[in-house]
Structure 1
Amino acid sequence: MDSAPITSLGKYRVETTLGAGAMGVVYRAFDPHIERRVALKTIRNELFDSGERASLMARFRNEAQAAGRLSHPNIVAVYDYGEADGTAYIAMEYVDGRSLEAFLRAGEPLDLHTALDWFTQLLAALAYAHEHGVVHRDIKPANLLVTTRGQLKVTDFGIAHIESSTLTVVGSVVGTPSYMAPEQFCGDSVDGRSDLFSAAVVLYQMLTGQRPFAGPPASVMQQVLRATPPRPTQRNPALPAALDAVLMRALSKERAARYQTPAELRAALVEALNGVSSHSTHSTFAEDDRTVLMAAAAGGTASSAFRPPPAPATVEKLPTVWPAGDLAAVQASLAAQVGPVARLLVARAAARAADLPTLSALLVPHIPSDKGRKQFADALSMLAEDASHGSLRTDTSQRPSQPPAAPRDGTSMSGSAPATSLTPEQIRAAALQLAVYLGPIAHLIVKREAPRALDLRMLQQRLADAISNDHDRASFLRVTGLRTD
């Protein structure tokens, strides 16, 4: 490394330069008072004008305050904050290792067990930070350090949000585009679920070698807000198929549809790979928060936090014992709560269930809110009642005869607003059908389009036009009977 340009800062003896950027330099230094090696992160005040300096210094002090209140083995410790000779500095734990970004630079997926081991440590760090009122807001590979012993540590709390803090960061949109949650792009308030979205992006990249959202910032923003990324197994077929459902839910656009806590996300991963009950894994997570999970040494065994399935995973198919219409009704009800991932969840659960109550019991834990679980349970109760009289049916199974086709723009022949013949039941059923492909936003789209449609057929056609994915649109058209091939 190059020789350090300065020899000391405050009480610290500067040894060498670890890195440099536009805002300042990071040094390796030594604290002679307690004989400890540290990393000194610095900002040179004279490099910025007065207005920019105030904002930057507020962010720098925010980092010291946010990380300084956290003491956890998976978070880089902050020891001191000071200013000397026109330079502000933070003295923090010196980590002998590399950033996760360095491991991912080649664009190749990591070993499954290594990736899950490191991700478990990340979840432990986030759980601790969130419990102490700190939301990181910039979780990305560059801010995750991996020691030579395989211990992951979270660093750079520069734009962290601290509950009850008077410190602010200028600008309402903060973060790194490819890893930002939808609410960050919109300038909405952030909470722990925003960090979990970013963490899921990191896991996706570790498992596939690619980011789910990539490209210029404007394109990334549109993808994060509107597009559904390819399932992980599409990019890495060697992955267990069960991971698809977990990752796609973790990347949901709506916060309420995601996993609500790090413990819940970890439990879902363990259940997906081990078949372990969510309740049992949830109860042991508190202990994991206090335990550093180490990556396996060369030639050793992988972390016991996750074990591979006994045989290569295969894509599950809908069993013949379930009529397709029955599962379509269940899938539509679940999609209203969790979005497009409902297709994968229902397919997996149907392979393990022989009756509706068992199917319901397997699906309910995937719904994040109590209200959503009740709504789903109520919907399945209605389906069960239908089943007692025959096969399950969606509300669209008995359609009224369709009147002649009307103009596609939604107006009547006279040019006035359409006098719709849609019933509330038809509108609700259409929303459930669309939710299978678009998630919870389907209800907003149906609410917008229903007044513009003369009849059910016109509504379904307008909804099909709202589905950007060609495969999904074709599937929707076949389900609704608009396409028969």
Structure 2
Amino acid sequence: MTSDPHIISKYKISKVLGKGAMGTVYKGFDTIIERWVAIKVLHPHLLEGEGGEDLAKRFKQEAQAAARCLHPNIVTVFDYGIEQDTPYIVMEYVEGVELKESIKNQGIDSVVQAVRILLQVLSALEVAHAKGVVHRDIKPANIILLPDGQVKVSDFGVARLDSSDLTSAGFMVGTPNYMSPEGLRGFKVDNRSDLYSAALLLLEMVTHSKPYAGRNTEELLDALNLQTRLEPLLRRDLQSVIRRALETDPSHRFQTAALFSKALGGLIETRQEDQDDQKTMVIPAAAYPGDSEPGYQLSQSQASNWNPDLLKVIEQSLVKYIGPMASVLIRKNSRTISGVSELSQKLAEQIPSVDDRQQFLKQLNKTGIYEQAISGLQPSYSTSAIQSAESGLKSSASYVGTPDKSITAEDIEKVSKKLLVHVGPLAPRIVKMAAKNCAELPQLIEKVSSHIPDDSERLSFKKSFE
């Protein structure tokens, strides 16, 4: 094709929708199915020379990648073909505005709107990543905003299928301003690179400041720090989420689009809950040694069931693994869960890495919160039950067993305390009875753990002795 055609295969061309470095996009009409479509045609001159064959393969790859990803937030690919030696892709025709233009015209006027846009982008990426497709070029020009608020992600033109060896280390593709550090260096990228680009997208929507390639995280976040129109708490929480998504080391970022979405959704939920709460308790920062950030809030109903000091300890341990989403999850789960062990396990499930999950539970055990729960800081059981359990612990401490056994009174007390968190006031009696038939501590731990019904809690209990 040497000029704008009037017809391509069965598609009647209406007008040019746009032109870019890679090709031209036309508005066309499918004369058989009778629907409007968008047709992207690769510039013929790009197919000439040494890199032409490679580019043609990548263009076909766009059709294959996008066709695998059927989702309301992804521009659908209908067809692929070659007309006069020039490849083309037929896509869903979408009437909307590019996010690039919306940002330029100050069309994104709130953090909530920006987050809702990105949540849809992340929803699209979640599906694409599950199909083995990495977009590799997430940027405002590839995000289309529809009048009804729906978002469409377009242009999988540089997407890499997991099964493809077309691109390799040392071959950089994408748009530099929105590329991850590993992408800029020409290294192999995966789904976490898309999430890095998505974080830059969010940052630009909130600050109306375009990111520049090569800047470190602190330089990128400077624009957010200057947004005095944002309430301090929201700015802090938003910064924490974006900071994690912009980690230089991919292993320290959100590992999936779903986890990134959960953190962002929590920010919106928190804002709404804070507005809805009629009464709140503000625990002064001085109440928590080492915590200089004021404003930790608990609803009145939550405060009546949990000691805020204990919840703060849990949050401080959890925040390093999932960021500001920690306070949201603690707020939500503490309303329906009464036991500290059950709450800890529930929260641990939100940590993507198994190793980090185990480390989190170990750290909690080291803080002594389970012993605090036994002491009455966390009212999982009635006061009389706690007192009865403590009495049982004291009496069990005097039990040593037969002289040839290596289990000491201190061992029995320690095991009883830890088991109490999982099974309640019967723990001392269970341990005392089991100790009569156990010669060594590991055997005792294994035996009493069988009384814990939940598999994950049982594993956590046994690991706490390692």
Give TM class, smaller chain. Answer: 0.5 to 0.7
TM normalised by structure 2 equals 0.62
Q: What amino acid sits opposite 2:83 in the alignment? A: A
> Does 2:356 match 1:376?
no
State the 4+ residue runs in structure 1 displaced beyond 6 angstroms: 325-336, 344-350, 357-363
Give, in angstroms, the shift of residue 126 of structure 1: 1.0
1:65-84 equivalence runs, <5 A: 65-84=64-83
- Retained in 1: the 8 A contact 2:112–2:268? no
- Retained in 1: the 8 A contact 2:97–2:145? yes
Please give the per-residue CA displacement for 1:264-289, whole angstroms capped at 9, x wherever unaligned.
222222333324xxxxxxxxxxxxxx
Give 1:27's aligned residue: 26
In the alignment, which of 255, 260, 276 is matched to residue 260 of structure 1?
255
23-32 or 232-241: which moved more? 232-241
Percent of residue pairs bearing the same amino acid type: 37
Q: What amino acid sits opposite 2:42 in the alignment? A: I
Give 1:310's aligned residue: 275
User: Measured at CA, do residues 265 and 73 of structure 1 come closer, stay the same or move farther in structure 2, by a change above 3 Å?
Assistant: same
C-alpha distance in 2, partners of 1:22/1:204?
26
C-alpha distance in 2, partners of 1:26/1:117?
28
- Retained in 2: the 8 A contact 1:140–1:202? yes
User: Measured at CA, do residues 330 and 45 of structure 1 come closer, stay the same or move farther in structure 2, by a change above 3 Å?
Assistant: same
1:7-406 equivalence runs, <5 A: 7-106=6-105, 109-168=108-167, 171-211=170-210, 214-215=211-212, 220-223=213-216, 229-230=221-222, 232=224, 234-238=226-230, 240-241=234-235, 242-275=237-270, 307=272, 309-310=274-275, 319-324=285-290, 367-384=351-368
Please give the per-residue CA displacement for 1:396-417, whole angstroms capped at 9, x wherever unaligned.
xxxxxxxxxxxxxxxxxxxxxx
C-alpha distance in 1, partners of 2:67/2:148?
24
- Retained in 2: the 8 A contact 1:44–1:86? no
- Retained in 2: the 8 A contact 1:66–1:162? yes
Give, in angstroms, the shift of residue 348 of structure 1: 11
C-alpha distance in 2, partners of 1:170/1:182?
13
User: Measured at CA, do residues 128 and 37 of structure 1 come closer, stay the same or move farther in structure 2, by a change above 3 Å?
Assistant: same
Aligned residues: 340
- Retained in 1: the 8 A contact 2:46–2:55? no
257-266 or 36-45: which moved more? 257-266
Give, in angstroms, the shift of residue 103 of structure 1: 0.3
Give, in angstroms, the shift of residue 87 of structure 1: 2.5
In the alignment, structure 1 segments of 5+ residues that lack a partner are: 276-305, 389-485
User: Measured at CA, do residues 204 and 171 of structure 1 come closer, stay the same or move farther in structure 2, by a change above 3 Å?
Assistant: same
In the alignment, structure 2 segments of 5+ residues that lack a partner are: 292-308, 335-339, 373-466
Provide the aligned C-alpha RMSD in A: 3.9
User: Measured at CA, do residues 168 and 228 of structure 1 come closer, stay the same or move farther in structure 2, by a change above 3 Å?
Assistant: closer
C-alpha distance in 1, partners of 2:30/2:159?
27
Secondary structure of the 2:27 match is: strand
C-alpha distance in 1, partners of 2:171/2:12?
38
C-alpha distance in 2, partners of 1:237/1:138?
30
Give, in angstroms, the shift of residue 365 of structure 1: 6.7
C-alpha distance in 1, partners of 2:44/2:350?
50
Please give the per-residue CA displacement for 1:233-271, whole angstroms capped at 9, x wherever unaligned.
642532524333222222222222222222222222233
Give, in angstroms, the shift of residue 168 of structure 1: 3.5
Q: What amino acid sits opposite 2:89 in the alignment? A: I
Give, in angstroms, the shift of residue 105 of structure 1: 1.1
User: Measured at CA, do residues 347 and 13 of structure 1 come closer, stay the same or move farther in structure 2, by a change above 3 Å?
Assistant: closer
Secondary structure of the 2:78 match is: strand
Please give the per-residue CA displacement for 1:16-75, whole angstroms capped at 9, x wherever unaligned.
111112332111111101111111111132355321211211111111111122221111
C-alpha distance in 2, partners of 1:140/1:124?
15
Q: What amino acid sits opposite 2:119 in the alignment? A: T
149-158 or 14-23: which moved more? 14-23
Give, in angstroms, the shift of residue 383 of structure 1: 3.8
C-alpha distance in 2, partners of 1:69/1:54?
23
User: Measured at CA, do residues 95 and 374 of structure 1 come closer, stay the same or move farther in structure 2, by a change above 3 Å?
Assistant: same
Secondary structure of the 1:80 match is: strand
